[in-house]
Structure 1
């Protein structure tokens, strides 16, 4: 029962932090992440990232991405699929080559350096989704490109990680062919979900004698897709995102959005953002400061310019290029998961693991500031919005 007190305390703190963030003109997620830094092991050590907090955090990111899918425009995502793929590919190449190369200067082995590049190749779009929603730019060509590119570079990152684990000859070795087949099967399932499964289940829910049964059925679809995505080595957030898009194509989109958004934002989603800060620790930071500062700067710049270049190659304006690049900076849970898997598979020594985690957290804190600034710098935001 002690967890209820912890939950109460965190929700109280995040509510105040969100309030003052808005007063200061800062994205609310920044205040929530800072709450995690202050009350967690980094400063006051009042709250630790235990199993229950972690579970609530995982549910939070799943619901957040489901809501992101619900509020996305499928036609817009299809229209900007090609730019998204190009943005994703260049956005993976830049961190792998540049951050991996610079890691060699800090005396990492070539294999460790390559793995560091892979860690920072994946974008965690969940935080970007929250900022885009807050500033009403999720349903724009830039928003669609960011969402599509984040899904694509997640898949690329999983494949690269699988290859590296296989090269290590670890007990956790995964056959890359099997991984690809499983992911192809997953996306075939996504197609079936869009065409048949989601419309059928949502229609059936309307005949069930339960309060808000369409919302309950939508959560069944959401959690089921998140579980399946995780089963094939992808982030559960991707499965939830596609579940949201599928439900959005039915007649129940508004009803589901109205019922699910309060559930997410009153409990689970704030805990997800707090958990990002709870991962931070300043232990041994002074000895590793040059590495941490260098990799944080490169983590921001490789996505900003790499993904911005991908947008430029597709004819986007300079302000749109910057917005797409800024939207792809955040690493968050995807980088944390990749680092943890790689650490468990002995791709990275324990000596540098905490430094990498700190860099991920710092980049994740910086990203919403840059995305907000990019949105405000758009000369004529209305032109990007599809009504």
Structure 2
């Protein structure tokens, strides 16, 4: 049974990856196709596989690996250095302002769309879910357009990274409060952040005395083994403290990002293990659990989809207008559209909210549909709207 589950999931991830590369300019991320594959083979499709303990465990490990890789993407030194050295408004300052506006607009949008009797704590969770951004889509899109090294690209990347960072903390804290029914329920997540902060500050300094070459080997792979050990240790710590895996794995990624040098082939090895094998289990499991009958049986949930999509784009595009003085209206709107892409984190946050009873299955399905729509539309619209970078123009002219 376990072998058949792994075999089907691996086949599906391979098909999704090949199909995504065959599409013009890879417009649809492979992750969307993995969700579609899960729907196709699940109870609402061919019924070849059902959600179960085996797939749930593999999906949970895959999700942890996904969040660890997301943490690896964040360059804390770059963010802080940009904020100190820039002469005018820095990318980090703009990113903070845009992120705060995004949360405020997401909260206002949720308040307008939902039942007036919705508890404030539940509204806050909806606001967090609708504030997410997909770093996995934003980063490669910015890099493909050769914008990553300029102020515009740094601002967009900083905004996406901050959105992920604060969303992970917020959803973990709010989930703890909902589950416990008291504010003290947030203490586990706050304690995890405190422990993670100390480790991120202290461990890299202690390990700096050890040459990286001593931690590298083509056969024993100490850095890879260390990374996987850290992931599972922080997951165990999060469980002990009553926090969420999403936060623990992300903090582990931040820590490892300070230990494993940028440009190291070991980062590529971790991404290969994650995206090539274990992460697809998470997205295929999302497709397996995607409850189409519940969605279509709930007129309220169906009506929420266009509303959520509108809020998801508006709460990124409007704050991005702050970029107009520095980058012009067209590029500002393009940034907002790209930041509107949601995928892994909105699905994860929605899954957490469903597990703790804030969202029902129909609303969760609506959120997954919003993720698929935004992930498919945002990169396409950005590429149509964004002006080519000077480097790209120079290459084209040559």
For the aligned pair, the TM-score class normalised by the smaller chain equals 0.7 to 0.9
TM-score scaled by length of structure 2: 0.77
Indicate conservation of the 8 Å contact 2:179/2:185, yes or no.
Answer: no
The match for 1:367 is: 374
Indicate conservation of the 8 Å contact 1:90/1:310, yes or no.
Answer: yes
> 1:232, CA displacement in angstroms?
6.3
> 1:337, CA displacement in angstroms?
0.9
Is 2:350 aligned against 1:379?
Answer: no
Indicate conservation of the 8 Å contact 1:161/1:338, yes or no.
Answer: yes
Is 2:97 aligned against 1:86?
Answer: yes
Is 2:360 aligned against 1:353?
Answer: yes
The match for 1:66 is: 68
> 1:36, CA displacement in angstroms?
0.8
> 1:161, CA displacement in angstroms?
4.0
- Of 296, 300, 305 in structure 1, the residue corresponding to residue 305 of structure 2 is 296
Residues 1-387 of structure 1 correspond to what in structure 2 (within 5 A)?
Answer: 2-25=1-24, 26-78=28-80, 79=82, 80-104=91-115, 109-111=117-119, 115-116=122-123, 118-122=125-129, 128-129=135-136, 132-133=139-140, 136=143, 139=148, 140-141=153-154, 142-164=156-178, 168=181, 174-176=184-186, 179-197=189-207, 205-206=215-216, 211-228=220-237, 231=241, 233-234=243-244, 235=246, 236-249=248-261, 253-289=263-299, 291-313=300-322, 317-327=331-341, 331-341=346-356, 343=357, 348=358, 353-376=360-383, 377-381=385-389
Unaligned 5+ segments in structure 2 are 83-90, 393-398
What do you get for the CA RMSD once the two structures are aligned? 3.5
* Greater mean alpha carbon deviation, residues 131-140 or residues 32-41: 131-140
SS in 2 for 1:55: helix
Distance change >3 Å, CA 35–CA 177, structure 1 → 2? closer
> 1:260, CA displacement in angstroms?
2.2
Indicate conservation of the 8 Å contact 2:105/2:315, yes or no.
Answer: yes
Distance change >3 Å, CA 382–CA 3, structure 1 → 2? farther
Matched residue pairs, number?
363
> 1:57, CA displacement in angstroms?
1.8
* Greater mean alpha carbon deviation, residues 259-268 or residues 188-197: 188-197
Separation (CA, whole Å) in 2 of partners of 1:102 and 1:216 = 46
SS in 2 for 1:48: coil
Unaligned 5+ segments in structure 1 are none
Separation (CA, whole Å) in 1 of partners of 2:381 and 2:249 = 24
Indicate conservation of the 8 Å contact 2:5/2:49, yes or no.
Answer: yes
SS in 2 for 1:285: helix
Indicate conservation of the 8 Å contact 1:96/1:117, yes or no.
Answer: yes
Separation (CA, whole Å) in 1 of partners of 2:105 and 2:58 = 33
Distance change >3 Å, CA 371–CA 279, structure 1 → 2? same
